[in-house]
């Protein structure tokens, strides 16, 4: 994926793994019930004041 991006290509992937997204993505898009909830960088997502979305996502990712 990184090589394709370095070649200037757009790489689109789907993941629920923030670590993977942080490592390989410049921008992320969160869609919930068909509506855009967030678009930006992982850093912006973590710093975003919309705690409900972040807390919901992190809660869903908890290892049980």
Q: With contact defined as beta carbons under 8 Å apart, do 11 and 5 qualify?
A: yes
- The pTM assigned to this predicted structure is 0.61
Burial class for 33, CB neighbours closer than 10 Å (0-12, 13-18, 19+): exposed
**Calpha distance 16→14 (Å, rounded):** 7
pLDDT score for 60: 63
Express each pLDDT in 8-51 by its tens digit: 888 888 888 777 888 888 898 988 888 888 899 888 887 766 65
């Amino acid at each position: 994926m990184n090589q394709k991006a370095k070649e200037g290509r757009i790489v689109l992937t789907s993941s629920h793994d923030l670590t993977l997204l942080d490592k390989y993505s410049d921008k992320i898009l969160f869609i919930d019930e068909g509506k855009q909830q967030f678009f930006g960088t992982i850093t912006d997502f973590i710093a975003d004041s919309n705690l409900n979305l972040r807390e919901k996502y992190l809660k869903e990712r908890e290892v049980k």
